[in-house]
Amino acid sequence: MAASAASAFKSAPLAFANNDTSKLKITSVDAYPVKLWNRSDQGKLPEFESDFDPKRWRYTGPYAQLASAIVVVIKTNQGITGFGLGAGGAVACQIIEGHLKNLLIGVNPLNIEMLWDQMYTSSNFYGRRGVFVMALSGVDNALWDILGKRSDQPVYRLLGGTTKARIPVYNTGDPETIERGLGMGIRHFKVVVREGLFEGEAGKRRTVKMLQDAREQVGPDISIMIECIARWNDVEYTIDMARRLEDLNIYWIEEPLSPDNIRGYERLVREIDSTRIANGEHEYTRFGFAELIRNQAADVLQPDVTWCGGVTSLRKIAAMAAAHDLEFTPHRGGSLYGMPLCLSSSQCEWAESFGTTDNGTDLMNAMSSRFENGYYYPSEKPGFGADLTEKLVREHALT
């Protein structure tokens, strides 16, 4: 499957304005942990009430979600600079500085497939998943940005163009964000569920009431999905919640269990008929997604281009989703880095909000897709089309 997925996305030869591509070399590689949100709580130290406080199980530090975003800056001897969004915070930057950089300096950045394989394989004894692949993602995305700029083409064109002229947005947030999204023309909403197994029966009732209120607010024709952040973390709990929510027409339940509980997800997919099971936001590379597919552990695949191995990895996962007729909905697909695969994949019907309804910094906004009345549109600028400069990245770098 991996071989066929790779061959499905081999690009046609590019017509470069200048044919001396063999002389193109990488001269520098830098990485910065950055701030994407204007939030006062980012980086705030936790306060736990006891050794058994449920918040202790949920504390991710600065290394999960977009709080750990990094930007990789790769320069070449021909004046082309690539910017890549990744994750993993300062730890990922150390991996790039101490490991991946040594495989990149002096080499041709256009051999992206070869470089991905060299970097990934060289991590076999300590990497393969988690923060290493987050670092690799940032590097890989920067290389694709260079390829697009060198060929004077947007990345989505290099992937075969688009299957749609625009793509609907689904907004992710707390219930309080729904009213604002409706006013912006958004018609699809993913509601974040904050309670789970620790909160017991009372938490179940509060969650059902919250989602009943959301359905009443938007009416019967607007999509509602739910994001569980793995807080349900129990198969029986999730099956019971799916039963209680049947009348609300929930489009999917996202990541209710630990990402490692593949057998549990297999059972959810098999036994829950009232909604879909979305999975993969915290999975890595085509190898991890091959396991989800092999075990039928997802109805909807949700790789993140900044975590799963970059565009090189994401395009193979998209091909695997198409081969198995699975929905393909990249996490944070509304970013300029996720948008190319959302546009080119026939399995992708909508893109997750990124910056549009967030309290984002100028840096986040520079990496957000053009939004109009509920839809994202492609960027026609070379590369990913992000309005990034080294100055802007440094201004938002975390120290």
Active centre residues (catalytic): 331
The count of other CB atoms within 10 Å of the CB of residue 283 is 28
256 token code pair: 């209710």
Whose CA is closest to 309, among 279, 277, 341, 334? 341
Inter-residue contact 328 to 301 (CB < 8 Å): yes
Q: Which residue stretches of the chain are H helix? A: 2-7, 55-58, 89-98, 112-122, 130-151, 155-158, 178-183, 200-218, 235-244, 262-271, 285-294, 310-323, 339-344, 362-366, 390-395
12 token code pair: 């046609």
Decide the pairing of beta strands 327-328 and 300-301: parallel
Angle between the N-to-C axes of helices 112-122 and 130-151, in degrees from 0 to 180, rounded to the nearest 10:
170
Residues 6 or more apart in contact with residue 229 via CB below 8 angstroms: 58, 192, 193, 194, 196, 255
Inter-residue contact 230 to 195 (CB < 8 Å): no
Inter-residue contact 279 to 258 (CB < 8 Å): no
The count of other CB atoms within 10 Å of the CB of residue 220 is 8
Residues 6 or more apart in contact with residue 288 via CB below 8 angstroms: 129, 280, 308
Whose CA is closest to 335, among 63, 141, 150? 141
Residues 6 or more apart in contact with residue 153 via CB below 8 angstroms: 14, 382
Decide the pairing of beta strands 70-76 and 81-86: antiparallel
Taking the C-alpha atoms of residue 323 and residue 318, their distance in angstroms, rounded to an integer, is 9
- Torsional sign, CA 174, 178, 184, 186: positive
